[in-house]
Amino acid sequence: MVDGLENVAFVIEDEPEDGEDLLGRYEGVDLTHRDRYGFGELPDRIVVFRLPHLAACDTEDDLRDEIHTTLVHEIGHFYGIDDDRLHELGWA
């Protein structure tokens, strides 16, 4: 899954600035809609929100599992998989 990632930055932020109830966010153009990167283009970003993860998890093991799920979910968006399909696959 990570072998195909190209020009993606992984970022941790406290919480979404827009107040949305999210654990993570993919910001960029997924592979199904992009050509090639040009010179000097900024990378896509996968953002993991720290505070919502901490609020949702009771144990360190739960936190690890939830972060893993969030990362797989957001990487799925990089590959062009929409939320409905990710939910069907169990990565919601």
19-41 pLDDT, tens per residue?
A: 999 999 999 999 898 877 666 77
Q: Smallest Cα–Cα separation from 47: which of 3, 12, 5?
A: 12
What tokens does 36 get? 């090639």
The pLDDT assigned to 38 comes to 65
The pLDDT assigned to 7 comes to 87
Q: What is the mean pLDDT of each run of 10 residues along the chain (92 residues)?
A: 89 96 95 77 94 97 97 96 95 88
d(CA 21, CA 52): 8
d(CA 41, CA 79): 19
Quick check: 78 and 5 in contact, CB under 8 A?
yes
Query: In which order are the strands placed within the sheet that holds 44-49?
Result: 8-13, 44-49, 24-27
